[in-house]
Structure formats: C-alpha cells, structure tokens
Structure 1
C-alpha cells in the first residue's frame, strides 16, 4: 500500500516534463495519490498549448481535473479551490511550485529592478502561496500539508539569482508564519530548497551553467542533485512520515548550503 493511498491533493506549477513539480508529482502518483492540476492560462483557447503540455503528462495517470490558473487573479484562484472542493471535498496536500520575475528585472542587478517588476515578482512568487493557503485552510484535513519550492539564493547571495533571491527570502519567511498559523489545526507548511535543476525557469537565471559547475566542485558530495531526488524528498515532506515537521526549509542540494569555503581539493589539477 502506497504512502498516499486514499490521499487527495492539488499541484500548481507544472509547466512541462522538466518541471520540479512534475518530478514530485511522479512520486505522489507512484504512492497512490489522487491529484488535480492547474496550468498556465492559454492566450488562445483554440490552441491550448499550456493545457496540452500538462495533460500529456498527468492524464495517463488519472488526473482528476486540469484547469487554468492565473495566480494574479483572485477569481481564478477561487475557481481552482471551488473545483477542488467539488471534486474531493477535503484534501490532504497542496504543492505550490510557482515563481516568476520579468526577464528584464531578473537578469539585471537588484538595484536596477523596476518598481512594477518587483511587485509582480513578489505577487506571483510569494503572495500566491499566501493566497492559496487562505483558500486551502478550510479544505485541508488535520495532518494535511502544504509544500513550496525555494532555493539557497533566498538565504545567501548567489550571483545571477538577483531579484528571485529576494522573492525566495520572502517565500521562506511566509512558510514560517503560515506554519505557525496552521499548526494549532494540525496542518503543516514546509519548503524544499533544491540545488540547481535543469528547468525552463532555471534557464532564465544568469550563468546557470556555472552554478552547476560550482555544485559539482564545492558540494560535500561533489555532485549536483537530480530532479528525482527533489521529488522523493518533497513527497516525504507531504506524507504522514513527516507529521512532526513544519516551518522547515529542507535543503536537497548535496550539502552545498553548509559549505563556507571551497574544499581543499577544489583547485587540484584533474
């Protein structure tokens, strides 16, 4: 019997088969979860590219629903959670895997980001979790869990991560406050801070190739992590096995976050 047999939940943030949210979803499906999904709204409903990308992945596994969601729209968020309640009644987990910053504001230095770009990045990357938590609070069963995705750039300065680092810092703070507010009801809120994974979002970060090289050279395990490893760790945090864990930011990064200086052999000739 799988860890998620009889468990129901929603996943927000799958863009394609390289998404970390998809890696997590695969683990949830493997453990027996029933899941509903959202996708980015399509500009042309007659050519639903975003919907089709998500359906191609999740429909073969028996997705309970797939609907659009623009997280800057309260009406669309309301629709998502109304659909969730209609389909499932109560739920056991919510996976939030959503982040965005306008490219012009993300690729430049923080001091040059625009006011509107800053507000939009924070709204999509941080407020969306808060907005979902408010709507999910009444639907989550006792013992239910919410999970979001972060990165070390929210704790330390990572050159090239720029504005998104500020967003992840705020996101991790929100995790703590939401965990405190949900805790008395027996509901948990956590985050996974993953090492760099080859996703569409990662391609927008400056010098992403150098990040991969840094992890392979400096991490205690002398390698980067895989999407599957992030998926398994995230599934654990959403499961009953993590029933005593909340307000946590779990690093899945081959130990990179604990290193304060390069290893002694980092510059040895290979």
Structure 2
C-alpha cells in the first residue's frame, strides 16, 4: 500500500540487534528507504557497524549527541552525499544510574539536566539540523513510553523526561507542519532493550504489561518498525503531532 523507495532515512540509537531503532531501520529498508546509521563511539561501533552494513547503509558515522562537532560533520556528510533527508528516527535516552534508580524528589540537578538534554534536547537538535534538508517535507520520529503520562513503578525520573519529549514533539509538529514536515512520538510497551535493562525490576514491568494488555503480548521491535515505516510514508503525510501507542492496548487498561 505504500513505498519508501528513494527516501533517505537517518537512524539514531541502534545499540544492538534488540534495539527499537534497529527494528525501525529494518522496516524502513524493507520498504525501499536508503539508510544513514550512527553509532555512539568506538566501543559501540563493533556492534552497530555489522548491522548497518547488513542493511546496506550508505552512511555509517559516529554521533555522540553531546558533541556539536559530530552533529555538524554528520549533516555535512548527508548534505554532500544525498543533498536532502526525508526521515529521521531518534531513539536515544539516558539518565545516570543513581538518579534513574532513585526517587524523582531526590534527582540531582546534574542528573536531571543530563537526562533532559540527551533524551529530549538531542531530538530538538536533530530536527533543527534536518529541517534545511527537508525542503520537500519529511518525517521526524522519536521514542517515548507510557510512563510519560501515568506513574509506572520504577520508571522514576524518565517519566517526566518522556513527558517533556512528547510535549516537544507536539510543539515542533505545529511549527513545522506548514513545511510538510510531520513529527511523531512512538510509544511502545516495555521492550527488553539495552537501555531498558537499566530500569530496576524491568522483568516484572514486562510481565505486568503482557498480563494487562488486551492482546496479552508485548510489542516487538518489528511492530514498532512497521508503524514507523507507515508514518514515514506519503500515505501518512497528513498525520502529525501524535503519540502513537504500539503496546497491545496496554495504555488503555487502568
């Protein structure tokens, strides 16, 4: 029903084959998109590069979202090689472990600032860098979680952080809609990714989600990828600003 053939897609946040970003990259590639894939650092490169090469990524580059120089270098390369970008997928979040495992009340100033900057600020920077290369419109997506709107045990300060990310998504969608750029937040249920493994008692959270969800199934990275591919297509060009739940209905159960 739709194709991404010829579209240029930038993927941030692949850590390994279990990453949500990897599921999205596979789906975008399967629908015909050309890929640019980033990795955090040299340590991460050994895990990410083989996956990127297997997907036929045309650009494989380092990107620590704290490093403005790497942001500039990445988009200079994209501009020189492609001249445009159609799709950006942001699947990056971080919080220092002590702050992640503690009460929101006790979160340190440094930890809160770092969590907000890496998890939310980097999405703003990504969209700002991509905007000039989306002269004919495009799609920008990030990844959230239900803990943004309801208190989820052990999710702690990442709840407020994801709430901020969803609000940013809506404001940017309103600002860029006239340019034909849509902006979305994907909200999967609990998934066992490398990032999620840092959340205390995450196995219990996954079991509870599967038990409560109407489908009694957790979402997979393939589920998320399929939804992302649709949102990136021209078939969804009049859809923007939403938080899209991909969680077997987990979010509707009280």
The alignment partner of 1:91 has SS state of coil
**SS of match in other structure, 2:32:** coil
- Helix, strand or coil at the partner of 1:138: helix
Distance in 1 separating the partners of 2:113 and 2:84: 33
1:252 paired to 2:222: no
User: Residue 25 of structure 2 corresponds to which residue in structure 1?
Assistant: 25
Distance 1:193 1:51 in 2: 27
Task: Report if the CA contact (8 A) 2:147-2:162 is conserved.
Answer: yes
Measure the CA separation in 2 of the matches of 1:9 and 1:88: 10
The 8 Å contact of residues 92 and 141 in structure 1, kept in 2 or not, is answered as no
Deviations 1:67-115 (A, max 9, x none): 1111112221111111111111011111111100011110111111111
Higher RCO by CA contacts (8 Å cutoff, separation 6 or greater)? 2
Give the CA deviation at 1:2.
6.7
**Aligned equivalents of 2:188 and 2:158: distance in 1?**
14
Partner of 1:103: 97
Alpha-carbon deviation of 1:60? 2.3
Match of 2:66 in 1: 72
The aligned counterpart of 1:39 is 39
Q: Which residue of 2 aligns with 1:92?
A: 86
Question: Are 1:188 and 2:182 matched, yes or no?
Answer: yes
Indicate the SS of the match to 2:95.
coil
Q: TM-score, normalised by structure 2?
A: 0.97
Do the aligned partners of 1:4 and 1:28 also contact (CA within 8 Å) in 2? yes
Aligned 1:58-207 pairs, distance under 5 A: 58-207=52-201
Q: Deviations over 1:149-190 (max 9, x none)?
A: 000011111110011111100000000010011101111100
Tell me the distance in 2 between the aligned counterparts of 1:62 and 1:224: 29
Aligned residues: 254
Check conservation: 1:106, 1:164, Cα contact below 8 A: yes
1:84 partner SS: helix
- Any conservation in 2 of the 1:69–1:77 contact (CA below 8 Å)? yes
Q: Which runs of 5+ in 1 are unaligned?
A: 43-48, 261-270
Counterpart of 1:142 in 2: which secondary structure? Answer: coil
CA distance in 2, matches of 1:51, 1:214: 34
Deviations 1:36-73 (A, max 9, x none): 1111023xxxxxx3112111101122211111111112
State the structure with more CA Rg. 1
Please provide the CA RMSD for this pair: 1.3
The answer (yes or no) to whether the contact 1:24–1:234 under 8 Å persists in 2 is: yes
Partner SS state of residue 100, structure 1:
coil
* Aligned-partner Cα distance in 1 for 2:138–2:201: 38
CA distance in 2, matches of 1:158, 1:112: 17
Secondary structure of 2:132's match? coil
Q: Is the 8 A contact 1:64 1:87 kept in 2?
A: no
Tell me the SS of whatever aligns to 1:63: coil
